[in-house]
Structure 1
Amino acid sequence: MDLAQTEAGLLLLGVLFLILGLGVWIGLGLLMTGLVGVVALPMLMTGMASFPAEKVLGSAVWGSLASWTLAALPLFIWMGEILFRTRLSEDMFRGLAPWVQWLPGRLMHVNVIGCGIFAAVSGSSAATAATIGKMSLPALTQRGYHQPLAIGSLAGAGTLGLLIPPSIVMIVYGVAAEVSIVRLFIAGLGPGILLMALFSGYIAIWSLLNPKLVPPPDAPMPFREKLRASGQLFPVMLLIGFVMGSIYFGWATATEAAAFGVAGALALSAWGGTLNRKSFGESLMGAVKLSCMINLILAGAAFLTKAMAYSGIPAAMATWVGSQGFSPFMIIAVLTLIYLVLGCFIDGISMIVLTASVVLPIIAQTGFDLIWFGIFIVLVVEMAQITPPVGFNLFVLQGLTGKGMMTVARNTMPFFFLMVIAVALVTLFPGIVTWLPNTMMGG
């Protein structure tokens, strides 16, 4: 990188942090920084051509938002908002509890399995933790289960909302990186199952080492009674299977499957008696607010990306990294630390769109698969969800339990390190991510 590009990059970075430090919305902050890059940089730096800001803004925003694939985003959000307002959390605990009594740790596993199931209809980490936690935490506490482990397992398993498809973060990354959303969804399955296995494995080992802290099992239940208790879960499982199956087997695009999911969620809500004018309006407004926030961030990021592209910063950085002889593992280790630090201050979606224009050329230069890197980013963003001071799952658990932030964070630490292990495993064995999409879709 030459001196001019370094100065341009530092200027844009300084402007961005100044604007965000003033409390401006992230989307607007990105737009304003992009405006500085398009208008001010050519005036301050010699040899850089000026560009009409209004044309650059218009083309960037239109190009980032006029996407059929992106239409899946508000639909999947709405599906999760509808089911969030049903009795799904109660049905989840009542339906799963009889089946996990034989496992070491017993009902603790409901947190992991329940979050895994709800993640497949939500796409949101915070919503997953809140929905499962509002029923499981009181039930576990009432039965005498170890509360720190219950809190930590729920905070950790809640992050599955980002990894198990449909994932809002995956859609945002897919649009930013211009890769297949369907491939990302399929690629998330293996790491999602891996993470659930690590969480449940830790709970089982902890319970075997601390048998006095695990309450006795509930009374045995006949098989027919178990099926009856799980009956309310079957429709949700069928909806998940249909939505995801239609994507995986090529029967529908992600957007079409999302539309089917909304219709199915509305039908289940009506069948369960929770669909009324109020819940319908609340779910719709919740989806609109979140979708508008994400789209504003995407628009601002697209404009900033254009500004940075004109300055040549991303390409120059990619070339510079390639010329330094850094090993792939070193690059991944550095990116992991950067994303964890960013996660202490901003949310996951903002992290991805904020860094995409600089990081993606570096990843392409070093030869990483962009689908694999998308899952890597999601895993690291998951880790950021349970790191203070802006770990959103920590806020959710703080609200549910009334505990202090640092107490919740301390209870969550074992599951944070399990996620570190998961990141290491998918880095050392990338086939965990790439095997399934390559098998199902070729490549």
Structure 2
Amino acid sequence: MGTVATGLVLLAVLLGLLSLGLWVALALVGVAVLGIAVFSGAPTGLVLANNLYSSISSWSLAALPMFIWMGEILFRTRLAEDMYAGLAPWLRRIPGRLLHVNVLGCSVFAAVSGSSAATAATIGRMSIPELRRRGYADNMVIGTLAGSATLGLLIPPSIILIVYGVSAEVSIARLFIAGILPGLMLVVLLMGYVVAWSWLFPHRNPPADPPVSLRRKILGSGRLIPVIVLIVTVIGSIYAGVATPNEAAALGVLGALVLAACTRTLNWRVFVDGLTAATRTSCMICFILAGAAVLTTAMGYTGIPRELAAWIAQMDLSVYALLAALVVFFVILGCFLDGISVVVLTTSVVLPMVQAAGLDLIWFGIFLVIVVEMSQITPPVGFNLFVIQGLTGKNILQIAWASFPFFLVLMLAVVILTLFPELATWLPEQMSRRG
């Protein structure tokens, strides 16, 4: 069976399993087993056992449940409510108001975790109940969270940029610096869409809070201080080299517990419920990670990613046509694989094409990450969609539809980056000159 036919069969099976209501992780494992057993000669049991264990035994994953637990503590105590109450008066005149907190919160937390899944789970646990309670449109609550959580892949420190830097043999420090301006551009574009939507559909916004004086705004901002101190402490401990991301995550949990105790909203029931919910969410994400890892290996054995990349190379396209083909290629792969797996499986074939086209590898790394961000909110296997499904209980297609406008925003970011490559290359060039 040809590569295209194999890919179509696996896609049809995956969609069929998901439509039957099977758990996402089990659907991914089922398709992986089919791919390995039918379309390759690899030992299915051995591959399955090795990948299921190795995908969730990484020490770097320890930060994920800790950050999620921190979010649960903030959500179940008054701290999250205080944060939104303190921000509300300042955002009263901005169209979209508290929806911007999703964008800004995700951009800040992305700098802490470097993971889109942890960003979606932590910020979503705080923001979804609060924004729903205040009457914001559900599709915008979900869409802003899904789109903004992808910033975890771009804003340093970014795990996927490290993987790309190793694969492409380029400076990881320069990649981190190259991601700063495109990351800020994405924040502006996401907030711009929220403003435009609010102008077009003013009736779908909740009534604005009553106007308050500047003095009351400043006094009310005191409610922000505990959460700001917590975030600054977590981020600062990482960037100052005082703590690793895992240690910073544990520090965040400890800080959240102390703050909750100081506000007298922490009791045994809140502690147990928060820990239970964090365990449930973390297990869901790790289970999906394990399934995605097995599917990634299965795709590697079938040779689909390599053959697709080789097929694109044989087409002898112009630079812009090549980039357009790669966007389609990576988004399609993102329907099956997580972002890091896309980079690992394809860079050895894609990078020679990119270099032959005369493209800067630092610039291409940022381009690749934004395209991979798009795939995180692309069904049927957009990872952020599954995380948000676990938080909201909504149908995956409803979440995908709510996220679609933000997929287009990310597409616009790709176009802007292609037309103005200096966004990704200017800061690294300045660093090289000073060095």
Alignment of 1:258-337 (within 5 A): 258-326=249-317, 327-335=321-329
Number of equivalent positions: 404
**Aligned twin of 1:79:** 70
Change (3 A) 1:352 1:125: same
**How many Å separate the matches in 1 of 2:279 and 2:425?**
33
The whole-number CA distance in structure 1 between the counterparts of 2:196 and 2:36 is 56
Structure 1 range deviating more: 367-376 or 251-260: 367-376
Judged with a 3 Å threshold, the aligned counterparts in structure 2 of structure 1 residues 77 and 413 are, in CA distance, closer, same or farther, namely closer
SS in 1 for 2:251: helix
In 2, the alpha carbon distance for the partners of 1:7 and 1:227 equals 62
Which residue is equivalent to 1:25?
23
* Match status 1:112 vs 2:110: no
What TM-score comes out, normalization by structure 2 length?
A: 0.70
Compute the displacement of 1:392 (Å): 8.4
Q: Name the CA distance, whole Å, in 2 between partners of 1:57 and 1:175.
A: 26
Distance 1:313 1:398 in 2: 33
1:13 & 1:203 partners in 2: Cα distance?
33
Q: CA deviation at 1:226?
A: 3.1
Counterpart of 1:273 in 2: which secondary structure?
A: coil
Counterpart contact for 2:163–2:343, Cα < 8 Å: yes
Q: SS in structure 1 opposite 2:376?
A: helix
Q: In the alignment, does 2:156 pair up with 1:162?
A: no
Partner of 1:275, secondary structure, is coil
| Distance (whole Å) between structure 2 residues aligned to residue 87 and residue 179 of structure 1 | 43
Aligned to 1:373: 368
What is aligned with 1:99? Answer: 90
- Checking the alignment, whether the CA contact within 8 Å between 1:111 and 1:133 is kept in structure 2 is no
Q: 1:90 aligns with which of 59, 64, 81?
A: 81
- How far off its partner does 1:322 sit? 1.8
Contact 1:95 1:232 in 2 (8 A): yes
Deviation of 1:59 after TM superposition, in Å, equals: 2.6
Q: CA deviation digits over 1:167-212, x for unaligned, max 9?
A: 99x9886798797999998877645543443455566678899999
In structure 2, relative to structure 1, the CA distance for the partners of 1:289 and 1:226 (3 Å cut) is same
Asked if the contact 1:75/1:258 (under 8 Å) is kept, the reply is: yes
Give the gaps of 5 or more residues in structure 2: 111-117, 355-360
User: C-alpha distance in 2, partners of 1:205/1:11?
Assistant: 41
SS in 1 for 2:222: coil
Query: In 2 relative to 1, CA 40–200 (structure 1 residues): closer, same or farther, beyond 3 Å?
Result: closer
Judge which range, 118-127 or 321-330, deviates more. 118-127
Q: How many Å separate the matches in 1 of 2:427 and 2:236?
A: 14
1:126-137 mapped onto 2 (5 Å cutoff): 128=123, 131-132=126-127, 134-135=129-130
Change beyond 3 A, Cα 1:335–1:81:
farther
Whether contact under 8 Å (1:371, 1:434) holds in the other structure is no
- In 1, are the aligned partners of 2:164 and 2:343 still within 8 Å (CA)? yes
Q: CA–CA distance in 1 between the matches of 2:431 and 2:247?
A: 19
Change (3 A) 1:78 1:69: same
177-186 or 315-324, which deviates more: 177-186
- The CA distance in 2 between the partners of 1:336 and 1:40, in whole Å, is 25
Match of 1:221 among 204, 213, 238: 213
> Contact 2:70/2:122 (CA < 8 Å) preserved in 1?
no
Quote the offset at 1:112 in angstroms: 0.6
Partner residue of 1:144? none
Indicate how the Cα distance of structure 1 residues 242 and 392 shifts in structure 2: closer, same or farther if over 3 A, else same. Answer: closer
Distance 1:257 1:440 in 2: 28
Q: Secondary structure at the match of 1:324?
A: coil
Secondary structure of the 1:252 match is: coil
Alignment partner, residue 39 of structure 1: 37
Q: Encode CA deviations 1:350-378: one digit per residue, 9 max, x unaligned.
A: 76488667666665454464455234322
Structure 1: gaps spanning 5 or more residues: 43-49, 142-146, 400-404
2:43 aligned partner? 52
Q: Is the contact between residue 70 and residue 256 of structure 2 (CA under 8 Å) also seen in structure 1?
A: yes
Quote the offset at 1:397 in angstroms.
9.3
CA contact (8 A) 1:92 1:114 kept: no
Distance 1:363 1:69, change over 3 A: farther
Moved more, 197-206 or 207-216: 207-216
- Return the alpha-carbon distance in structure 2 between the equivalents of residues 25 and 210 of structure 1: 36
The root-mean-square deviation of aligned C-alpha atoms, in Å, is: 4.9
Deviation at 1:270, TM superposition (A): 2.0
The 2-side partners of 1:176 and 1:324 are apart by 28
Tell me, in whole angstroms, the C-alpha distance in 2 between the residues paired with 1:414 and 1:306.
31
Contact kept? 2:105, 2:123, Cα under 8 Å: no
Tell me the distance in 1 between the aligned counterparts of 2:199 and 2:46.
Answer: 64
Alignment deviations for residues 51-110 of structure 1 (CA, whole Å, 9 cap, x no partner): 333332233233322322222222222222222222234322331234345x554xx433
Percent of aligned positions that are identical: 35
Q: Sort the Cα spacing of 1:80 and 1:328 in 2 relative to 1 into closer, same or farther, 3 A.
A: farther
Task: Give the Cα–Cα distance (whole angstroms) in 2 for the partners of residues 112 and 357 of structure 1.
Answer: 34
1:233 Cα offset (Å): 1.0
1:63 aligned to which of 54, 63, 70: 54
Following superposition, the deviation at residue 308 of structure 1 comes to 3.0
Residue 99 of structure 1: SS of its match in structure 2? coil
CA contact (8 A) 2:106 2:149 kept: no
